[in-house]
Amino acid sequence: MFRSYLLVALRNLRRTKVLSSITILGLAVGMTASLLILHYVTFERSFDKFHAGSDRIYRLRYERTDDSGESVRFASCCPPAGARIRGQYPQVENIARAFKYEASVSRGDEKFLENRMFFVEPEFLEILKFEFVEGDPSTGISEPNHAFISQSTAQKYFGDEDPIGQTLSIDKKTDYQITGIFKDCPKNSHIKFDFLLPWENMAAKMGPEYTEAWGHTGVYTYLIMEPGTDPIAFEKSLQPMINAECPWLAEYNMTIDLRMQPLTDIHLNSHFMQEYEPNGDRESVDILALIALFIMIMAWVNFVNLATACSVSRAREVGMRKVVGATRRQIVVQHFFEFGVTNLIAASCAVILVALFQPVFNSLTGMPDNIGLFSRAWFVGALGVMVFVGVFLSGLYPVLAMASFKPASVLKGKWGNSSVGIRLRKALVVFQFAVGLVLVMATITVFGQVSFMRSQTLGFNMDQTMVIKAPRVRNKESYGTDIETLKETLMSFPEINRVCHVTEVPGRQIYWDAGGIHKAGEDISQSKNYQIVGIDYDFADAFELEFAAGRNFSVEFPTDKEALILNETAVQWMGFEGADSAVGQQVEYWGEIYTIVGVLKDYHQQSLKVDVEPHIFRLMPYGRGTMGMIAVKTNVQDVQATIASVRGQYDKMFPGNPFEYFFLDDYYHQQYESDERFGRVYSLFSLLAIVIIVLGIYGLSAFSITRMTKAIGIRKVLGASVSSITGMLTREFVILGAIANIVAWPVAYYSLSRWLENFAYRTEIGLGVFLLAGFTVMVVALGTVSMQVIRAARTNPVDAIREE
C-alpha cells in the first residue's frame, strides 16, 4: 500500500511539474525564512540561561527617587550594599560584587587598552558559572594581585607560552600574577570579560570614601536566592537596612530602592544607566517571531490555494476512484500522503537553503558564526511542526472536499466551482496581500525613522573629529599640566583646528551623574539628579556649541573653578524661568556653592531615541579616577598623516599608554546600528514575503488561465482585444489587492505608531508610506499575472477551441 501511495504521489508531482514546483518552492522559502528568524529569536532569548540555577540568580540594581517622583535608574548598585546583605538575610544563598574597569595592560613593550576587566569578589564565580581551563575559580583570586584571564587574552599576551605564574602590569602600577585561565565568555552572556582581578585591589585603590558610599553607583551586585524566594518581598525587606544606612535620605526627601532583576531578563529588558553595553530589545525580537509565523502562514496559504485548485483538476480522478469502490478513508490517506511527500521535499530544500544562507543572515543580524544550528533540538522540532501543520492543516480543506463530493456530479463536470472554495481562495489571497503590505510599510517606516534621526540637527559639530582615549598611565601630580602641554603642541599643527579634554564626548549616555543639587537657599528636599560633564575651556568652541545666555569658562576668570554651565533642559529642571534669569544664580552642589556663568543650548548627547537630559558642565577635575577623552578637530582630508602626527606626540607625552582612537561620527552613529540592522532584516523578509505572494499568484493565475483557455479563445474570435482580455483576467486580483489595502492600512498604522513611540524624536507615518507600499505590492502582483495573461491572450484562438 505504501509503495502504491508513493508511486501515485510521485506520478502526480511529475504530471503537474509547474504547480508542484511552485508549491515546493513557496514552502521551502517560507520554512527557510521562519527557521532563520527562529534561530535569531532563540539566540536572543537564550542569554544567561547556561548558568546553573539561572532562574534563581538576580542582579541587584539601584534606583534613586526625589520628592517630585522623578527617578534615576541604574543597572549597577551602590558599593556597600552587597557587604551589608551578606550573611544577614536567610533568603540569600550567595552574593557577590563586581566593578568594571578600564586599564592599560602591558607585558614588556606590548601594551593594550583593555575595557573588559572586572574586579570581583571570590563568590562571583560561585554564582555565575563560567568554564575554566586552568586554575581554581573558588580560590584563584581570593588573594590580592592575582588574576584570571580568558583564553583569547592568554594567546594575545603570551602566545604559545604557559601564562600560569607569569605577570601582567595594570596601568604600570601593579603587577598581577596569572593564576587561572577561563574560556572566552559565551556570546549569549550579558556580561563579557577578559580579566578578573581581586576585589581587594579595587577596594584599596578606591578607598572607603567610595566602597562605603551609599550615594555612589558602579558596583554590579549578583545574588543567588534560596528556592521559592519572592524577589518583591525580598526587595521590601531591604528597606529598613537602606533607611538605617542612609539617614540623609529624609533630609533630601529622597528614597533609594534596591531592585531585583532576574538574570535571564537582563539582555532583552534592561536599558538603564551604566549598562555594560547596549542590550537587545524584547519588542523587536517578539516582532520578528511574529514575522516568522506570518511568513510560514503565507507559505501554507499558498499550499492551501494551490492544493484546492489542483483538487478541481483531479476531481474526475477521485470520482472514478469512488465509482470503482475507493473508500473515503483511502482517498483521504492518499492525498495526505501526497501532501506529506510535498512537505518533506520542501523541508529538505529548506535545510539546504538554511545551510547556504545562514552565514549571510548571521552577518546581517550580528549573530555569532559558531552557533551550530542543525543539531539543536528546537530546529528539528520546529521543522517537524512545519511539516506536520503543512500536511494536516493546509491539506485539510481540499482533502475533505474531494472525499465528500458525489461521484455522479463530478463525472458530469458539475464540481469545482463551489462558492465556499472560491471564497476561501480569495480570502487567503487577501491575507497574503495584507501581510506583504504590512511588512513593506514597516520596512519603509524603519528606514525612514533611521534616516530622520541621521538627518536632524544635533546641536553640535562632529565633522572630522578624532577622539583619543585619555591616558591611564600618568603622573597624578602633573596630569593636568601634561594634558595642557599636549593640547598646545597639537594646536601648533596646521592640520588641527581645536583640541579639548572632556569626560564624555557625544554618542553615549553620560556616566557621571549626581543628585543633591538645587538652587542655593532652596530647601534641600528640592534637589534633583543631573548628568555631570567635566570639560575644559575649549570644549564649547571645539564642538561649536551655542550659548543661550551667559559665557563660556575662561582662564581670565579664576573663580570659574567654582562656576557651572547648564544646558537649557537643566535650567528648566532647576526651576528657573529662562536662560537669562539663570545666569548669575547660585547652585548648591554637594554642600558647596557654585555660580551659573552660562547656559548652553540643548544638544543631543545621545541619539534621537531619547530626550535631552539635564546636563551640568564644570571644569575638568583631575582627581582620582577622572580619565575622559581628548577630542581633536582636524581640517584636512589626509587623515592617516594626522593620526600619525597625533600618535607621535601622544606617545612622547604619555609613554606606556596604548594609543586608542576613534572618529566621532562613526562612534555617534553606532547608536543607530541596531535600528539599521532591524530595518535590513525587515527588508529581507518583506522581500521573501513578496516572493511567496508572487509564487502563489503565479500558480493560481496559471491554473485559472488554463481552465479559461476556451473562454479566452471564444472572446478573441468575437473580436476581443488583448488589452480587454488582460483587463478581464486581472480585474479580480486588483479587487483583492484593494481589499487587502483596506485591511492592512489600519493594522500597519497602529503597529508602526506603537513602534515609533519608542523614539523621543520620530518621523510621521504619512500617506506616502501606504501608497508606496500598496503600489509596490500591486505592481509586482499584477506584473506576475499579466505576463501569463498576455501570453494566453496572444495564442491562436483556433488552437484553444480545438484543444477544448
Q: In the prediction, which pLDDT does 529 show?
A: 86
User: In whole angstroms, what is the distance from residue 381 CA to residue 387 CA?
Assistant: 10
Angle at 523 between CA 521 and CA 528, to 5 degrees: 105
3-state secondary structure of 803: helix
Element of type H or E holding 680: helix 673-707
Amino acid at 5: Y
Other CB atoms within 10 Å distance of the CB of residue 663:
16
User: In whole angstroms, what is the distance from residue 577 CA to residue 705 CA?
Assistant: 74
User: In whole angstroms, what is the distance from residue 75 CA to residue 150 CA?
Assistant: 24
**3-state SS record for 268-328:** HHCCCECCCCCCCCHHHHHHHHHHHHHHHHHHHHHHHHHHHHHHHHCHHHHHHHHHCCCCH
Tell whether the torsion through CA atoms of 120, 122, 128 and 131 is positive or negative: positive
User: In whole angstroms, what is the distance from residue 127 CA to residue 148 CA?
Assistant: 16
User: In whole angstroms, what is the distance from residue 337 CA to residue 455 CA?
Assistant: 57
Find out whether 754 and 603 touch, Cβ atoms under 8 Å.
Answer: no
Give the closest residue to 351 by CA, choosing from 370, 376, 334, 331: 376
Find out whether 124 and 142 touch, Cβ atoms under 8 Å.
Answer: no
For 40, 365, 447, 577, the CA distances from 362, given in Å and listed in that order, are 8, 5, 20, 52
Amino acid at 189: S
pTM of the model: 0.85
Amino acid at 304: V
3-state secondary structure of 616: strand
For 143, 196, 446, 676, 773, the CA distances from 451, given in Å and listed in that order, are 52, 41, 9, 9, 18
User: In whole angstroms, what is the distance from residue 517 CA to residue 589 CA?
Assistant: 5
User: In whole angstroms, what is the distance from residue 46 CA to residue 38 CA?
Assistant: 12
Give the closest residue to 590 by CA, choosing from 618, 609, 627, 567: 618
User: In whole angstroms, what is the distance from residue 597 CA to residue 553 CA?
Assistant: 8
Contacts 24+ apart (CB under 8 A), 89-94: 89/234, 89/237, 89/238, 90/226, 91/225, 91/226, 91/229, 91/234, 91/237, 92/223, 92/224, 92/225, 92/226, 92/234, 93/56, 93/223, 93/224, 93/225, 93/226, 94/123, 94/126, 94/127, 94/223, 94/224
Q: In the prediction, which pLDDT does 347 show?
A: 94
Q: In the prediction, which pLDDT does 248 show?
A: 85
Residues of the chain with pLDDT under 70: 1-13, 15-16, 309-333, 335, 394-395, 397-421, 622-626, 703, 706-710, 716-719, 722, 792-804
Amino acid at 455: S
Write the burial class of residue 144 (CB in 10 Å: 0-12 exposed, 13-18 middle, 19+ buried): middle
Write the burial class of residue 401 (CB in 10 Å: 0-12 exposed, 13-18 middle, 19+ buried): buried
Q: Give 3-state DSSP helix, strand, coil % of the chain, rounded to 5.
A: 50, 20, 30
DSSP code of 162? -
Find out whether 596 and 582 touch, Cβ atoms under 8 Å.
Answer: yes
3-state secondary structure of 596: strand
**3-state SS record for 374-431:** CCCHHHHHHHHHHHHHHHHCCCHHHHHHHHHCCHHHHHCCCCCCCHHHHHHHHHHHHH
Element of type H or E holding 727: helix 722-756
Q: In the prediction, which pLDDT does 286 show?
A: 92
Angle of helix 17-44 versus helix 673-707 axis, rounded to 10: 160
Considering the chain, what percentage of its residues have pLDDT values greater than 70? 87
DSSP code of 77? B
The DSSP string of 189-226 is: -S---SEEEEHHHHHHHH-HHHHT-TT---EEEEEEEP
| Average pLDDT for the chain | 87
User: Domains of the chain: which residue ranges?
Assistant: 1-49+281-416, 67-253, 438-457+673-804, 474-655
Q: In the prediction, which pLDDT does 190 show?
A: 96
Q: What residues form DSSP beta bridges with 518?
A: 588
